[in-house]
Amino acid sequence: MLDKAFDRVCSQNADTLVVLLLDELPYMLQKIAVCENQAGTPGHSALEMLDTLRAMRHKHANLRMIFAGSVGLHHVLTDLRGTKFASQPVNDMPPVEIEALAPADAVTLSNRLLTTERVQVAAADCEALPRELAALTDRVPFYLERVVAHLAELEGPVSVQDARQIVRRHLTDDNDEWEMEHFRARLKIYYHGSSDDANGRPIPNATLASAILDILATAPKPQTIDEVWSAMKARLALDHRDQIIQLLKSLAQDHYLTSDSEKRYAFRFPLVRQWWVLAQGISQ
């Protein structure tokens, strides 16, 4: 049905660029696979759909596709393929990372939100507050908007300190209005499998990933692969260095971590690092 639909759309609009945007595609594919497994059918509909979409991209010169999602497609493809399939349904699509706003743009957005929300700012903080908001929220519009909305609820002129208190309160709030818990919960959903420790006992990969994040959340500076490996060995008596390398790569692909030109790893967003320390109850 998809093939026929786009045959018609693309042929009737030959001079127009047609764009198909699929949001949360990894989640959709996972749900398809789960439903098939629950039904007891050995189908591979999710992979077949991806292969069909790939064929469509090559068939129609005026068709482009954007696959979006908060979790990397690499996890789902690994599960779908298993060891029996060599399908590479997205190797013709370049990955594009959505970065945080540029510093100047984050300050501009801060000013506009403060104006739109009619926030009365203390005279001494008129210039400092927009810059502080950008820094406190890692220049992520979602968090920036939430902080300004709460500033608008305060009585009287607001200050930089008010903004800091709002961020701190939300990072420690068990109601989790900012939905930070998904950074922890999705480890168990997507980091499947396990690795044996030195005594042959299996340790879930989700547990290993969480331990890596604990180490990097409390490290005073970015850590090399060897530094992470040494800390993990001391903590969990591990034998398989390659597994830690792969987990570091996956955590970077899933936007938990970033690495520099020396392959030293650190949290991508200080705000998430701060939340992780608080949520895990660990000390820096």
Taking the domains of the chain in order of start, what are their residue ranges?
2-81, 103-172, 182-280
Q: Between 95 and 145, where is the model more confident?
A: 145
Q: Does 91 have pLDDT greater than 90?
A: no
Task: Say which amino acid occupies 206.
Answer: A
Residue 42 is predicted with a pLDDT of: 65
Residue 17 is predicted with a pLDDT of: 96
- Within 13 A of 140's CA, how many CA atoms are on the CB side? 14
Q: Write out the two tokens for 166.
A: 């709002």
Residues 184-195: what's their mean pLDDT? 85
> What gap in Å lies between CA 121 and CA 241, rounded to an integer?
52
Given a contact cutoff of 8 angstroms between Cβ atoms, the answer to whether 45 and 34 are in contact is: no
Residues 250-263: what's their mean pLDDT? 92
- Asked if CATH classification 1.10.10.10 holds for the domain at 182-280, the reply, yes or no, is yes
Q: Does 184 have pLDDT greater than 90?
A: yes
Residue 43 is predicted with a pLDDT of: 61
Q: Write out the two tokens for 207.
A: 């547990």
Residue 83 is predicted with a pLDDT of: 44
Confidence of residue 81 (pLDDT cuts 50, 70, 90): low
Which residues, at least 6 apart from 268, have a Cβ–Cβ distance to it below 8 Å? Answer: 252, 255, 256, 257, 258
Mean pLDDT of the chain: 90
